[in-house]
């Protein structure tokens, strides 16, 4: 059923517009505000408090004040708060989905998918909260006992991007809660509404005041800079672009902070001559069009064996060409808008440059006229290997196809990037799939699969795609440090 204006209005009225500090919603200390817009229409959805550097420090003060008590809560208690939050988000899935569609643009069906994925981190880490264990052992010379314990790292600064407003937040907040850390969250200013609604759920689930604090701001560097320099902060977890990540790492080094960096990607999608081409096209639709291509895991380069390239390109073009760009709240929508005009202009520049280099647009290749920042689903073939579109993150619904002849050539092309987040490999030969996986410099591999994200798996990259892992058994470790206690020989008198 189509969403009504009344439903949208009713939902937006539930979203707090202030800063969330010490368990209370408050205005910016300067009184400043900023507008959050719907990328499908360009219209303002809500006006939010715009934090100042002083507000940022107040949020850290609240996190620091709450840290000692929070670290002492029973792991089960922390787990149960997360589990209640999972139940609440799940019960309100339609609301969270609609809010993400409104502020970020993705079609409602996809937004529902993100609610499931994002909520799963709450359930997963509710279970992990009680499993952060250490060990006790006898020293090799028998003269001492070694007690190894896991402790929360302390107050964290979490910075999230706009493309997955719920999941990028829960992927950090849930393990921090499970580990016993307090935090300041700085959501992307393009999509801050989901985090604010989520904070009300955590309050309802029983999260004590000060454990989570949220500062929305249009001056990210000015507000987070002093926190990163503050000796009371112990960890920085960032998801976003590689250039910003590099600068944050440099700043974090001055305070010797623990860091987790989930940065950009340039995923290769390899289709071998023995692949099930129909399955590869299904996988490509997911790997390319999920989130309109605005995902760090989006397939950015389609490397296809020359013997199946024409068939693959034609089938993919048919599927991509059949998508319907429309506001995500409309039932017919299968392709939402890009996040803003700047992003759309960049996507079109990359496409135009590739065509100038000699690539052929099999389908698409242009923005959609009218309101919002829509761009047509596009397939480019015969893309020259030197084309800029193969070097940069496209972050749009554009699939450039390059052909290869041998396995060695495919591996060389795939690894020819500064990024190393994820790769996709389609082949019917399991040995080949595993062999290629071992040769690719990536943190994750989709083998005959177009999606790898899973709360139970370690998500993250190598090279310029970042440091650390989120989710899986590894996820909570990012928020724990190891303390060792040396104990004298209990048998010595």
Chain residues binding ligand NAP by CB under 6 A are 159-163, 168, 186, 188-190, 220-221, 224, 239-241, 244, 247-248, 262-265, 296, 393, 421, 461, 466
Residue 262 annotated to the active site = yes
Say what the alpha-carbon torsion angle 409, 410, 416, 418 is, to the nearest 10 degrees.
-160
- The active-site residue out of 262, 294, 393, 477 is 262
Residues 6+ apart with CB under 8 A from 325: 333, 335, 336, 337, 368, 374, 375, 376, 377
Q: How far is the CB of 442 from ligand NAP (least distance, A)?
A: 12
d(CA 317, CA 319) in angstroms, rounded, equals: 5
- Between 79 and 396, name the residue whose CB sits nearer to ligand NAP: 396
- Between 101 and 224, name the residue whose CB sits nearer to ligand NAP: 224
Q: How far is the CB of 466 from ligand NAP (least distance, A)?
A: 6
- Between 240 and 337, name the residue whose CB sits nearer to ligand NAP: 240
Q: How far is the CB of 473 from ligand NAP (least distance, A)?
A: 18
Q: How far is the CB of 424 from ligand NAP (least distance, A)?
A: 16
Q: How far is the CB of 386 from ligand NAP (least distance, A)?
A: 22
Q: How far is the CB of 191 from ligand NAP (least distance, A)?
A: 8
- Between 161 and 446, name the residue whose CB sits nearer to ligand NAP: 161
- Between 296 and 361, name the residue whose CB sits nearer to ligand NAP: 296
- Between 42 and 384, name the residue whose CB sits nearer to ligand NAP: 42
Q: How far is the CB of 241 from ligand NAP (least distance, A)?
A: 3
Q: Are strands 183-186 and 156-159 parallel, antiparallel or unpaired?
A: parallel
d(CA 366, CA 375) in angstroms, rounded, equals: 6
The answer to whether 382 touches 372, Cβ cutoff 8 Å, is no
Longest dimension (CA), the chain: 85
Residues 6+ apart with CB under 8 A from 455: 117, 120, 121, 123, 124, 171, 471, 472
CB atoms within 10 A of CB 31: 9
Q: How far is the CB of 176 from ligand NAP (least distance, A)?
A: 16
Residue whose C-beta lies closest to ligand NAP: 240
- Between 19 and 410, name the residue whose CB sits nearer to ligand NAP: 19
- Between 85 and 190, name the residue whose CB sits nearer to ligand NAP: 190
- Between 252 and 326, name the residue whose CB sits nearer to ligand NAP: 252
- The active-site residue out of 110, 296, 470, 477 is 296
Q: How far is the CB of 406 from ligand NAP (least distance, A)?
A: 30
The answer to whether 50 touches 34, Cβ cutoff 8 Å, is yes
Active site residues: 262, 296
């Amino acid at each position: 059923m189509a969403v009504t204006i009344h439903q949208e209005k009713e939902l937006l009225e539930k979203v707090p517009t202030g800063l969330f500090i010490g368990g209370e919603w408050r205005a910016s200390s300067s009184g400043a505000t900023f507008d959050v817009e719907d990328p499908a229409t360009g219209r303002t959805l809500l006006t939010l408090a715009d934090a100042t550097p002083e507000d940022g420090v107040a949020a850290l003060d609240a996190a620091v004040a709450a840290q000692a008590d929070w670290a002492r809560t029973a792991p089960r208690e922390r787990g149960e708060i997360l589990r209640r939050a999972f139940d609440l988000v799940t019960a309100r899935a339609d609301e969270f989905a609609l809010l993400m569609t409104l502020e970020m643009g993705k079609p409602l069906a996809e937004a529902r998918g993100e609610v499931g994925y994002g909520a799963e981190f709450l359930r997963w880490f509710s279970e992990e909260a009680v499993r952060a264990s250490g060990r006790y052992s006898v020293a090799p010379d028998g003269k001492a006992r070694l007690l190894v314990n896991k402790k929360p790292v302390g107050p964290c600064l979490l910075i999230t991007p706009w493309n997955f407003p719920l999941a990028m937040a829960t992927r950090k907040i849930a393990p921090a809660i499970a580990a016993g850390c307090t935090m300041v969250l700085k959501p992307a200013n393009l999509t801050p509404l989901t985090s604010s609604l989520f904070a009300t759920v955590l309050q309802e689930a029983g999260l004590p005041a000060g454990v989570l604090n949220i500062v929305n701001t249009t001056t990210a560097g000015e507000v987070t800079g002093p926190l990163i320099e503050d000796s009371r902060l112990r960890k920085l977890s960032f998801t976003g672009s590689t250039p910003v990540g590099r600068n944050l790492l440099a700043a974090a080094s001055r305070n010797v902070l623990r860091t987790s960096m989930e940065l950009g990607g340039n995923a290769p999608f390899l289709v071998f001559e023995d692949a099930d081409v129909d399955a590869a096209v299904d996988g490509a639709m997911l790997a390319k069009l999920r989130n309109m291509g605005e995902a760090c895991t989006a397939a950015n380069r389609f490397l296809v064996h020359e013997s199946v390239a024409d068939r693959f390109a034609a089938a993919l073009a048919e599927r991509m060409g059949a998508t319907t760009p429309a506001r995500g709240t409309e039932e017919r929508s299968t392709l939402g808008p890009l996040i803003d005009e700047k992003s759309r202009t960049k996507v079109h520049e990359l496409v135009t440059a590739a065509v100038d280099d000699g690539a052929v647009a099999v389908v698409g290749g242009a923005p959609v006229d009218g309101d919002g920042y829509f761009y047509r689903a596009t397939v480019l073939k015969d893309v020259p290997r030197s084309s800029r579109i193969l070097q940069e993150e496209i972050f749009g619904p554009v699939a450039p196809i390059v052909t290869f002849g041998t396995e060695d050539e495919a591996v060389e092309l795939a690894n020819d990037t500064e990024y190393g987040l994820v790769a996709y490999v389609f082949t019917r030969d399991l040995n080949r799939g595993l062999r290629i996986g071992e040769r690719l410099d990536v943190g994750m591999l989709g083998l005959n699969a177009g999606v790898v994200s899973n709360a139970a798996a370690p998500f993250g990259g190598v090279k310029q795609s970042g440091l650390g892992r989120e989710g899986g058994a590894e996820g909570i470790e990012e928020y724990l440090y190891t303390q060792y206690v040396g104990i004298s020989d209990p048998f010595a008198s």
